[in-house]
């Protein structure tokens, strides 16, 4: 298993297969995907791209604290589920974020994934909310300070 930076183009098929099933491919492109400050990470198993996540510089101030980067589009292909690849990505993040001088991140986690993020120190904030055409989400925060 290896984790490395990948291109936007490499993320799209996985976003489509996992996060936007039965939706137009255009819904798989996120604001900020093409910014130089954006990081796309891929987790590979036996040289196959099996999962992804994106870190977008999308500042948000919550309770007077700046959360500069948003974790978006975290997804593992169905055929690679159960190999702890999501866990590997989450364990990779602290050093990657430190190297890139990113101290605080946030995400809009699917409600079904809240427990997963909490295992890695993310805290739920506020009430769950609906993202149209996607489903219920929960704002989650993580500080690496």
SS3 content of the chain, % helix, strand, coil (to 5): 30, 45, 30
Q: Tell me the average pLDDT across 113-141.
A: 94
Q: Which CATH class, in words, describes the domain spanning 2-143?
A: alpha beta
Ordered by start, the domain boundaries in the chain are 2-143
Hey, is 20 helix, strand or coil? coil
* pLDDT value, residue 75: 96
Q: How far apart are CA 121 and CA 24, in angstroms?
A: 33
Phi, psi for 75 (deg, rounded to 5): -160, 140
Task: Transcribe 89-132 into DSSP letters.
Answer: HHHHHHHHHHHTT--EEEEEEEGGGHHHHHTTT-EEEEEEEEET
Per-residue pLDDT tens for 108-119?
Answer: 999 999 999 999
Per-residue pLDDT tens for 13-56?
Answer: 999 999 999 999 999 999 999 999 999 999 999 999 999 999 99
């Amino acid at each position: 298993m290896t984790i490395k930076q990948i291109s936007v183009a490499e993320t799209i098929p996985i976003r489509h297969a996992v996060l936007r099933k039965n939706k137009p491919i255009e819904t798989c492109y996120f604001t900020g995907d093409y910014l130089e400050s954006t990081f796309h990470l891929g987790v590979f198993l036996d040289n196959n791209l099996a999962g992804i996540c994106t870190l977008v510089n999308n500042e948000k101030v919550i309770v007077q604290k700046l959360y500069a980067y948003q974790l978006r589009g975290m997804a593992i292909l169905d055929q690679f589920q159960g190999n702890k690849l999501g866990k590997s990505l989450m364990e990779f993040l602290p050093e990657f974020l430190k190297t890139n001088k990113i101290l605080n991140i946030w995400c809009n986690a699917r409600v079904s994934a809240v427990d997963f993020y909490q295992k890695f120190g993310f805290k739920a904030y506020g009430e769950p909310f609906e993202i149209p055409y996607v489903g219920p989400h929960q704002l989650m925060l993580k500080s690496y300070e």
